[in-house]
Amino acid sequence: MRPTTALRRTLLLTSTALVLGLAASFAAAKDKPKDHTSGPAAAYQPSMTTLGELNVEIPGRREGDPVMTQEEYNAANKMYFQRCAGCHGVLRKGATGKPLTVDLTRENGFEYLRDFINYGSPAGMPNWGTSGDLSDEQVDMMARYLLLDPAAPPEFGMAEMLESWKLIVAPADRPTKKMNDIDIDNLFSVTLRDSGQVALIDGATYEIHTIINTGYAVHISRISASGRYLFVIGRDALINMIDLWMETPATVAQVKIGAEARSIETSKFKGYEDKYAIAGAYWPPQYVIMDGDTLEPLKIKSTRGMIYDTQEYHPEPRVAAIVASHYKPEFIVNVKETGKILMVDYSDIKNLKVTEIEAERFLHDGGFDASKRYFLTAANARGKVAVIDTKTSALVSILETGGQTPHPGRGANLVHPTYGPVWATSHLGDDTIALIGTDPEGHPDSAWKVVQTLYGLGGGSLFVKSHPTSTNLYVDATLNPDAETSGSIAVFKIAEMTQEEPEYTVLPIVEWAGIAEGQPRVVQGEFNVAGDEIWFSVWNGKDLESAIVVVDDRTLTLKAVIKDPRLITPTGKFNVFNTRADVY
Amino acid sequence: MRPTTALRRTLLLTSTALVLGLAASFAAAKDKPKDHTSGPAAAYQPSMTTLGELNVEIPGRREGDPVMTQEEYNAANKMYFQRCAGCHGVLRKGATGKPLTVDLTRENGFEYLRDFINYGSPAGMPNWGTSGDLSDEQVDMMARYLLLDPAAPPEFGMAEMLESWKLIVAPADRPTKKMNDIDIDNLFSVTLRDSGQVALIDGATYEIHTIINTGYAVHISRISASGRYLFVIGRDALINMIDLWMETPATVAQVKIGAEARSIETSKFKGYEDKYAIAGAYWPPQYVIMDGDTLEPLKIKSTRGMIYDTQEYHPEPRVAAIVASHYKPEFIVNVKETGKILMVDYSDIKNLKVTEIEAERFLHDGGFDASKRYFLTAANARGKVAVIDTKTSALVSILETGGQTPHPGRGANLVHPTYGPVWATSHLGDDTIALIGTDPEGHPDSAWKVVQTLYGLGGGSLFVKSHPTSTNLYVDATLNPDAETSGSIAVFKIAEMTQEEPEYTVLPIVEWAGIAEGQPRVVQGEFNVAGDEIWFSVWNGKDLESAIVVVDDRTLTLKAVIKDPRLITPTGKFNVFNTRADVY
C-alpha cells in the first residue's frame, strides 16, 4: 500500500516544485522570505568570508550599457557571488539555475531582468524583491549588473594555496599515541553549518567532546585510513585537518584550495594509508593532492576541458564527489559539467596518470556498493547513475533511476530479499527511491538495473541510509516544503521489500526533538559503529534551537535527543568508523 | 681546430642577436624590411586565411583608455594576430616575445609602446615603423590597441571541427591496391611554405609527381604506419590526408582543428597501424585524436592547466611536437608552456588514459634515439633536453645542452667513435651542436650527458641530420643573418669526432643552386631512403627562384639541383620511409 492519499497529494505538488532539483532550497526560501541568508533556506549560499575581498574593475563595458558606478558594480558583484552564483554559476553559465550570460541577459533586457529578480518564478527563482530581501534599488542594480560581462573570478594556484597553508602543529610535535579515552571509531563529526564549525560528539555518551572552528558550511568529513585524522572542508574551500589523538582533538593543519569547494578524501589503498589527501573545488575548477600529514598542497590539476558528449570546451567543470579506491592507489573524481569520472592514480604524483571515463553530465555524489568494488554515482540533472568498476577502472553501466534528480549522498547498501545486494538512492525531484542491483556474479539479471522503486515521504529527499546489521532503510525528505514531511523520516523494512509497494513507518523526528519554533528540517541519518542506532539532524534556523535525535534501529523508538546551545544548524554527521571504512 | 677567426666573429654577433631564440626570424626581417610578410623572414606569421573573420567587440574598455573606434579595433586586432601573436602569444602572455598584458602595457604607457613598435629593439623586436612595414597611423593604432584587454580568441570544439571536416574520397571509394608506379618509400613530401602546398617529389628521378593544395605553411608531414597515407598540417591548423596509392596522389580527407597548429602524427604501435591520427593545436590549446582512415575527429582534449613547477594556471599551453611510441599504444605530446610531456594511451579513447610527466617549460621539438625507445625533446627557452623512456613511460633525465635555445627538429642519431650512440641537436641561439649519449646499457657513463660540443657555422641553426648508413653529420644555419652562413651547410665527419674540436667541411649550397637573387636560406637536410644522398631546401622569397639541392653523401659533391617554377618557398622535406620509420 502506498502512503495515504492526502500525503501523496502533497508529495505530487512537491515533485512539481522540485523538478529543477536544488530549486527546492529556493522553494523553501519563499516560505521564509525574511530569513534567506541563514538557516536551511540558504542551502546554496557560498561563504561570505571569501567574498569580502572581491573588488574588480568593471569588465566588458560597452557603449549603451546601463550606467553603473564602480561602487555599484563592486556591490552587485559581491551580491552575485553571495546570492546567485551557487545556482547560476561563477561564470554565469547556469547550473541549477538558468544561464545568465550577456547574450541572454541583453536579449531579455533590463526590465525583464528587474521584474524576474523582483517577483521570482515558479521554477524556483526566489522573489528577491517582493520577499523584502533586496530593496528596489538593489533589484535595479542587479538587473543592470547582469547586462555587463561577468567579472573573471580569480585563479587559485600553488602560490595562493601555500599562502593560505597553516601547519599549526607539525607532525613531530604531535602525540605519538592516543592521549584521550575517546572511542574514536564511534565518534561523530557533525557539521554546524551556519556557525562554521564541526562538533565532535561521542557515539556512546552523546557528549560533545569539542567544537572546532572550520570553513563555512562544512560539506563533508572524511577520515584518514588509520582513523587518526579527520578532514573537513567548507564550502569556502577551507580544509581543516584534525588530530583525534590529541587530548582534545584540534586542528593541526589548514589550507584553502579555492573560492568554493565540496569534496575531500584521503588515500586508502594498502601502503598509502594516511599518505595523501585530495580535495576538489568548484572554483577554480580543479583538484589538489596534499600531503596526508600536513595538508601541504603538492599537485594541482585543472579540470577545464571538453564536455564528454558534445566535446565543447567548458571553462568551469566543477569537482563534485571524490572517493578513494580500495583496489588501487586511485582517487575517483567526479567532474560535474563535463560528465567525466577521473581515475587519478596517486602512486606517482610527479607523473600523474589519469584515466578520464566518459560518463554523463552533472555528476554529483555517490558511494560504493557493499563489496566496495563498484562506485555508483548520480548524474543528477540527467536522472542517471553511472557505475564504475574500481578494480578495472572502467565504466560498467549508465542507467536511468526512473526518478527526478537522484541525490544518493553515498547511497545505502542492503541485501534485498528477492534481488540480493542492492544500492539505494532517493531523489530531490520526487518521492521515489530506486534500488539498484549491485551483484553481477550472484545476481547477474539484476545487476545495474533498478530492481524496485519505493515511494517515500515526498520530494526533496537528500539521503538514504542503512547498515549491514540493520534490517531497515531510512529516507529523509529534508527539502520538502511541507513542514510535517520535512520533519519526518520514512523507514522501510527490508524484509517487506518482497511486496510490490512496501509501506513505510513514519518517524516524527521533529516532534520527538520537541522543537516548536521555526520549521526545522530532518536531514541525513547516520549509524553508530555498532549499527544499532541512527542519528538524525534536526536542522533549524541559525538563531533557533536545533537538535540531534537518536533512534533505536531495532525498535524504531526514540533513544535520545542531543541538545546544546552550541549545536547551531547541525546538518551532516559522519561516524568515524563508517566513514573511514565506507560502511553505508 | 675551430672555424676561422673571421667566421667565428660573425657567429658571436649572431649568438647575441639570437639570445631570444626565434627572435632570429625577426632579426632576419630587419635585413629585408620591405618583405616582411613573405619569404623566410616571416617565419612565424600565422595564416591570414583564418584571421579574416576576426571581428570582435572591444573588450575591457575602461574610462581613460585611449579612444579607438570599433573599426580601428578590428583592424588592430587582425594585425595583432597576423604580425604579433606568433611571438607574443594569442592571449598576449608572451612566448618568444615579451608579454603584452595590460598590466604591463599600461605601466609602460602609450608613448613607450608607440616608440617600441616604431623602432624595434636589439633583442629581436622588429622596427615595424622605421622599416616601412607599418605607417605612422598604424603604429599609433597598435600602441593604443595594446592598452586594451586582448580579445578572446574563439574556441574550436567538435562542432567546429565537424563543420570543417571534408571526406573527399571515402575509404570504400579508394583504390584497393597501389595504382601508380611511384617508389613510395623514396618519395619526398616538400612543404611549399608560402604557396600553401606540398610537392611530392620522386627520390630517384627528382620529378615532381604532383603539387597538392594544403593549409598555409605546412609545418610537418607524417606518414601512416603502412606507408600509404601522408598527413600534413598547416600553421592554420588545416590537415590534409593524402592517399599515395591513387594514380596521382591526392587529398582524400581534410579537417581543421583550430586556429593555429604545428603537429600531427599517426598511430604506429602493432595492431594500431593506420588506425588513428593525432594533431596538436597552438590555439585553442588542445589536441585531437582522429580516425586514421577519414580524419573524422573523435576525441578532443584540452591542455589548459597548471605550469609544472609553479603550479599556476596557464590559459594557453600550446601543443608542440607529437610522436608515436613504438613500444606502446601511446602518443607522446609536448605541451609547451606548462612543461608537461603527455603519454596519451590511445588503446581506449572513450576512456582516455594520460600520464602527465613533469618535464620543463617551453617544450618544443624532438625525436627518438636510434633504438626508438627514448624520446629526446628540447625545452628550448630553458636550454635543456628532456628524455622520456617510451617503454616505461617515464622521465629518464633532464639535461642542459650547454647551448642557447636548442632546436633539434627530430635530432640526428650517429654512432660516436668514442661515446657510442649519440643524439645531436644544434641551437638557434649559438653555433654549438650538442652530442648526447643515448646508450645507457652499452655506454652508461655517457648516457644522457653532453659528451661533446661541436662548433658549426653559426647561430640560427634549425636542423641537424645524419643517417644510419652515413658517416657524416650535417648542420644548417638557416636563420643566421649572414648570407654566406645561412646559405651553407657544415658537414662533420663522424670518424673525426675523436678530436676535441673537429673541423667541418662547408658545402656552399646556395652557390651550387646557382641562385643570385634574394638571400635564399638553406634549410633542413633530408636523406633519401638509401641514405646515400641528402636534400637541402634553398628557400628564397615568395616571388624569387628557390631550389632543392641534392648532395652525394659519400663524396660531399653536388649531385643535382631541382628547380621548377612551382617550387615556391620550399622548406621542410620528409622522405616517406625515413619519416615513417623514425630514421634520422
In the Cβ-directed half-sphere of A293, how many Cα atoms lie within 13 Å?
A: 7
Mark whether B87 is an active-site residue: yes
The Cβ of residue B14 has, within 10 Å, a number of other Cβ atoms equal to 26
Q: What percent of chain B has pLDDT over 90?
A: 72
Using a CB-CB distance cutoff of 8 angstroms, which residues of chain B are in contact with residue A290?
A: none
Instruction: Provide the pLDDT for residue A82.
Output: 67
Among A317-331, A477-491, A516-530, B85-99, the range scoring the smallest mean pLDDT is B85-99
Q: What is the mean pLDDT of residues B320-330?
A: 97
> A403-456, pLDDT tens digit by residue?
999 999 999 999 999 999 999 999 999 999 999 999 999 999 999 999 999 999
Instruction: Provide the pLDDT for residue A13.
Output: 31
Using a CB-CB distance cutoff of 8 angstroms, which residues of chain B are in contact with residue A155?
A: 312-313
Distances (CA, A) of A306 to A301, A315, B288, B298, B466: 15, 9, 11, 12, 41
State which residue of chain A sits closest to B347, comparing Cα positions: A355
Selected catalytic residue, list A36, A68, A79, A87: A87
Instruction: Provide the pLDDT for residue A519.
Output: 85
What is the residue-averaged pLDDT of chain B? Answer: 88
CA gyration radius, chain B = 23
State which residue of chain B sits closest to A155, comparing Cα positions: B313
Any idea of the CA torsion for B389, B393, B396, B402, to the nearest 10 degrees?
80
Mark whether A87 is an active-site residue: yes
Does A237 score more than 50 pLDDT? yes
Q: Which of the pair, A142 or B91, is modelled with greater confidence?
A: A142
Instruction: Provide the pLDDT for residue A143.
Output: 94
Chain A residues interacting with chain B (CB cutoff of 8 angstroms): 57-62, 149, 155, 157-159, 284, 286, 297, 299-302, 304-306, 310-313, 350-358, 393-395
Instruction: Provide the pLDDT for residue B73.
Output: 87
Selecting from B62, B313, B354 the residue whose C-beta is nearest the C-beta of A302 gives B313
Closest by CA to B288, choosing from B227, B375, B349, is B349
State which residue of chain A sits closest to B155, comparing Cα positions: A313
What's the rounded Cα separation, in Å, for the pair A336 and A366? 12
Instruction: Provide the pLDDT for residue B569.
Output: 93
Does A89 score more than 80 pLDDT? no
Using a CB-CB distance cutoff of 8 angstroms, which residues of chain B are in contact with residue A357?
A: 350-351
Q: What is the mean pLDDT of residues A200-211?
A: 98
Instruction: Provide the pLDDT for residue A313.
Output: 96
Residue with cell 636510434: B370
The model's confidence at residue B57, banded by pLDDT at 50, 70 and 90, is: low
Selected catalytic residue, list A36, A88, A219, A416: A88
Any long-range contacts for B176-179 (C-beta under 8 Å, 24+ apart)?
B177/B245, B178/B244, B178/B245, B179/B245, B179/B246, B179/B247
DSSP state letter for A47: P
Does B12 score more than 60 pLDDT? no
What's the rounded Cα separation, in Å, for the pair B235 and B260? 5
Using a CB-CB distance cutoff of 8 angstroms, which residues of chain B are in contact with residue A302?
A: 304-306, 313
State the smallest CA–CA distance between residue A355 and chain B in angstroms: 4
Does A474 score more than 60 pLDDT? yes
DSSP state letter for A95: S
Instruction: Provide the pLDDT for residue B124.
Output: 62
Q: What is the mean pLDDT of residues A499-518?
A: 95
Task: Could you list the beta-strand ranges (E) of B419-527.
Answer: 420-426, 432-437, 450-455, 464-465, 472-475, 489-493, 505-507, 521-527
Mark whether A88 is an active-site residue: yes
Chain B residues interacting with chain A (CB cutoff of 8 angstroms): 57-62, 149, 155, 157-159, 284, 286, 297, 299-302, 304-306, 310-313, 350-358, 393-395
Mark whether B125 is an active-site residue: yes
3-class secondary structure for B37-71? CCCHHHCCCCCCCCCCCCCCCCCCCCCCCCCCCHH
How many Cβ pairs within 8 Å bridge chains A and B? 104
What's the rounded Cα separation, in Å, for the pair B263 and B233? 7
Query: Which of A306, A332, A341, A360 should we substitute to test contact with B (largest number of B Cβ atoms within 10 Å)?
Result: A306
Q: All 3 cell numbers of residue A169? A: 602543529
What's the rounded Cα separation, in Å, for the pair A166 and B208? 69
Does B18 score more than 70 pLDDT? no
Selecting from B57, B300, B356 the residue whose C-beta is nearest the C-beta of A62 gives B57
The model's confidence at residue A6, banded by pLDDT at 50, 70 and 90, is: very low
Mark whether A427 is an active-site residue: no
Instruction: Provide the pLDDT for residue A18.
Output: 30
Q: All 3 cell numbers of residue B251? A: 587529398
Using a CB-CB distance cutoff of 8 angstroms, which residues of chain B are in contact with residue A352?
A: 355-356
In the Cβ-directed half-sphere of B201, how many Cα atoms lie within 13 Å?
A: 29
Strands of the A420-426 sheet, one edge to the other: A412-416, A420-426, A432-437, A450-455
Determine contact, residues B390/B374, Cβ cutoff 8 Å.
Answer: yes
State the smallest CA–CA distance between residue B306 and chain A in angstroms: 7
Contacts of A122 (CB under 8 A, 6+ apart): A17
Instruction: Provide the pLDDT for residue A45.
Output: 28
Query: Which of A58, A310, A351, A396 should we substitute to test contact with B (largest number of B Cβ atoms within 10 Å)?
Result: A351
Query: Which of B257, B311, B393 should we substitute to test contact with A (largest number of A Cβ atoms within 10 Å)?
Result: B311
The torsion angles phi and psi of A172, rounded to 5 degrees, stand at -65, -25
Q: Do B313 and A353 touch (CB under 8 A)?
A: no
H or E stretch covering B319 = strand B319-324
Does B162 score more than 60 pLDDT? yes
Selected catalytic residue, list B1, B48, B79, B125: B125
Q: Do A352 and B350 touch (CB under 8 A)?
A: no
Q: What is the mean pLDDT of residues A460-477?
A: 97
Using a CB-CB distance cutoff of 8 angstroms, which residues of chain A are in contact with residue B354?
A: 353-356
Instruction: Provide the pLDDT for residue A481.
Output: 83
